[in-house]
Amino acid sequence: MSGFLITLEGIDGCGKTTQGRLLQARLEGEAIPHLFVREPGGTPIGEQIRLLLLQKEHSLITDTELLLYLAARAELVNTVIRPALEDGRVVLCDRYYDSTVAYQGYGCGGDGDWIRELNEKITAGLRPRLTFLFDLSVEEALRRRGHEGDRIEERSLSFHRRVRRGYLALAAAEPDRIVIIDAAAPAEQQHELLWSRLEALFSGRPSDEL
Ligand code: TYD
């Protein structure tokens, strides 16, 4: 597969969607063929699953929630991401399997081994080439979100703290893949850092030369 799968991760309100848009504009400016997708969603069925996951009328037990995120991912990976990668495109994905480990594993207390196994199975081992983790305190993220949240955003501060800790543990375990970005830094500075890492990746330069 000749394209690159790049994922953006972080707690709700960390600013990764803004960074995703800046990256998308940069890729467009550089005329690099790409695709920007988000999870859960990005396919007709995935968008419907997204509505079920983020609604607030009904609660979901952790296993239901987990399996719905995975179902949306199965659709996205197989019908959108793989074909785009085979086409040689850069695929930017706003959230991917690290979200499930962080939220349903660390956040909800789900079985981490099972989550990893399921992720591996439905993605057929498709790993991101690079993951940017936008790290921010839970208090600052909440302040930035400001408005009334969806079903996941409205969970307690301690839930979001566990998610953040989960992400940092993932980054510590895979430092070559997961790059931690200080999401409290100015947006333009974060963007330049991301871009320098991506340029190195695209040109095959080792990132420690940066
Ligand atoms: P969204 O509004 O897209 O949030 P954000 O802009 O922060 O990405 O909603 C996605 C929510 O779903 C977000 O709270 C994180 C959560 N989520 C999980 O709990 N598990 C997952 O596997 C994924 C992909 C997302």
Q: What is the Cα–Cα distance from 126 to 119, expressed in whole angstroms?
A: 9
Q: How far is the CA of 209 from the centre of ligand 1 (A)?
A: 34
Q: What's the pLDDT at 1?
A: 60
- In whole angstroms, what is the distance from residue 96 CA to residue 46 CA? 13
Q: 152, 153, 155, 163: which to mutate for ligand 1, most atoms within 8 A of CB?
A: 152
Tell me the whole-structure pTM to 2 decimals: 0.95
Distance 87 CA to ligand 1 centre (A): 27
pLDDT value for 152: 86
Contact 126, 81 (CB under 8 A): yes
How many CB atoms lie under 10 A from the CB of residue 36? Answer: 18
Q: What percent of the chain has pLDDT over 90?
A: 90
Does 47 sit in the ligand 1 pocket, CB within 6 Å?
A: no
Tell which CATH classification among 2.60.40.290, 1.10.10.60, 3.30.200.210, 3.40.50.300 matches the domain 4-204.
Answer: 3.40.50.300
CB 194 within 8 A of CB 134: no
Mean pLDDT, the chain, integer: 95
pLDDT at 177 over 60: yes
100 lines ligand 1 (CB under 6 A): yes
The predicted structure's pLDDT at residue 209: 45
Supply the pLDDT for residue 207. 58
pLDDT digits (tens, 9 = 90+) for 10-49: 999 999 999 999 999 999 999 999 999 999 999 999 999 9
Instruction: Give per-residue pLDDT as tens, 133-162.
Output: 999 999 999 999 887 889 888 899 999 999
The answer to whether residues 170 and 178 touch, using CB atoms and an 8 Å cutoff, is yes
pLDDT for residue 153: 87
- Distance in Å, CA 54 to ligand 1 centroid: 8
Both tokens of 67, joined, read 């399996």
pLDDT of residue 124: 96
Q: Is 40 in the pocket of ligand 1 (CB under 6 A)?
A: yes
Q: Is the pLDDT of residue 113 over 50?
A: yes
pLDDT over 70 (residue 7): yes
Is the distance from the beta carbon of residue 69 to the nearest atom of ligand 1 less than 6 Å?
yes
Atom of ligand 1 nearest to the CA of 152: 14
The residue-averaged pLDDT of 100-107 equals: 98
